[in-house]
Amino acid sequence: MTEQRQQKVRSRKSIQKGGAITVEHARQRIYEKKVKEQLLEEAREKRERTRMVNIERKMQLHAGINAQKAERTWKKDLHEFQKSNPDTEPPIGLRTEIIDLDVTQKKCKEKEEEDWLLAVTVHQGIGRQLGIMN
């Protein structure tokens, strides 16, 4: 009986080192492998999301920088035109202003916040006058 067990163990020796594998040990290794693969996949997805966020941030930054450059050159060209031709009206290309979307969005957001704060303070003032709020 012991010879048969040793023969079985020896027959697997080339396939697996370290003795016979049990079912529980095999299941444990399969589970560990799945967990490891999941962690690697999550890390890969996280890296990809981070990379995409960084790319988007760079694009927004460069868009703002490019808009500032365009505005600077527009102002310079307009100033030069007005300096050389003080009595004439500038051409259509120099009349239109360069719009920086980030600045426009910030101004719009600030205006919304101011309007909201104004509405809240007016509401609180009316409530105090009516005796609803303390």
Residues of the chain with pLDDT under 70: 1-2, 4-19, 97-103, 125-134
Instruction: Name every residue whose Cβ is closer than 8 Å to that of residue 53 and which is 6 or more positions away in sequence.
Output: none
What is the model's pTM? 0.42
Tell me the one-letter amino acid at 82: Q
Q: Where are the domains of the chain?
A: 20-98, 100-134
Tell me the one-letter amino acid at 72: R
Encode pLDDT of 38-76 as tens digits: 999 999 999 999 999 999 989 888 888 888 888 888 889
CA angle 69, 70, 76 (to 5 degrees): 90
Taken in order 73, 74, 79, 82, the sign of the CA dihedral is: positive
